[in-house]
């Protein structure tokens, strides 16, 4: 009988393999970048599973997770490897898809006149967590880009995705007819 073995022990010395086999320290910029994208996908999974998330939003979240897996593979790829030719790319259409989803939600939302303080309901709060992890993933991507070239479409996708999660958080408040918790600068 064949067993699934989760542990390989190859990382016990503080290194890990990129796609293609090159070993790097676990604190390498690539590992930080793809690890943060992986964290984002996990938090999106929490949002997906929350009660009250519509099927339409779940479909969008599932598509986003697939794109993030592609993006994560870009960050984890040893570009000198032959494997690089087999990894799918993100496209301008992927960014436009997010912009469309943002526009659809924004059409129903009141004009924003203040900063929004996260909170109010679980769906909105988890959307804000997705937004902040996404912003960190984008920063990690730019940090990686300072060392070695990153596809700019990947960074644009992360930027637009954080906007999507901000609007989604507002949209969840709107669906529940809750007033947003807006920051009052005069207090």
Average pLDDT over residues 42-46: 98
Tell me the C-alpha distance between 156 and 151, whole Å: 9
Note the pLDDT of residue 2: 74
Name residues whose C-beta falls within 8 Å of residue 53's C-beta, 6 or more positions apart in sequence.
47, 61, 123
Note the pLDDT of residue 25: 72
For all residues of the chain together, what is the average pLDDT? Answer: 88
Collapsed DSSP state (helix, strand, coil) of residue 51: coil
- C-alpha torsion 157→18→147→72, nearest 10: 10
pTM of the model: 0.88
Note the pLDDT of residue 160: 98
Note the pLDDT of residue 111: 77
Domain extents for the chain?
26-108+117-175
Residue listed under structure tokens 């709060």: 125
Note the pLDDT of residue 164: 98
Tokens of 135: 């912003």
Q: pLDDT by residue (tens digit) across 116-151?
A: 777 778 999 999 999 999 999 999 999 999 999 899
Note the pLDDT of residue 184: 65
Residue, of 9 and 121, whose pLDDT is higher: 121
Residue, of 180 and 146, whose pLDDT is higher: 146
Q: How confident is the model at residue 11 (pLDDT cuts 50, 70, 90)?
A: low
Q: pLDDT by residue (tens digit) across 146-179?
A: 999 899 999 999 999 999 999 999 899 888 766 6
Q: Is 80 in contact with 20 (CB distance < 8 Å)?
A: yes
Residues in the chain, overall count: 187
Q: The domain 26-108+117-175 is classified under which CATH number: 1.10.287.70, 3.40.50.150, 1.10.390.10, 1.20.1200.10?
A: 1.20.1200.10
């Amino acid at each position: 009988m064949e067993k699934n073995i989760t542990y390989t022990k190859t990382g016990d010395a503080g290194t890990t393999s990129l796609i293609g086999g090159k070993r790097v320290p676990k604190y390498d910029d690539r590992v930080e970048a793809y690890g943060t994208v992986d964290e984002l996908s996990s938090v999106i999974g929490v949002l997906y599973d929350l009660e009250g998330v519509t099927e339409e939003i779940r479909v969008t979240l599932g598509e986003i997770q697939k794109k993030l897996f592609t993006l994560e593979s870009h960050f984890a790829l040893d570009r000198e490897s032959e494997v690089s030719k087999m990894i799918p790319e993100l496209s301008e259409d992927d960014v436009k898809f997010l912009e469309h989803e943002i526009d659809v939600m924004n059409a129903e939302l009141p004009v924003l006149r203040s900063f929004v303080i996260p909170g109010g309901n679980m769906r909105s709060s988890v959307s804000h967590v997705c937004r902040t992890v996404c912003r960190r993933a984008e920063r990690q991507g730019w940090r990686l880009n300072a060392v070695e070239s990153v596809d700019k479409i990947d960074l644009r996708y992360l930027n637009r995705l954080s906007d999507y999660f901000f609007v989604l958080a507002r949209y969840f408040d709107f669906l529940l007819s809750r007033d947003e918790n807006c920051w009052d600068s005069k207090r």
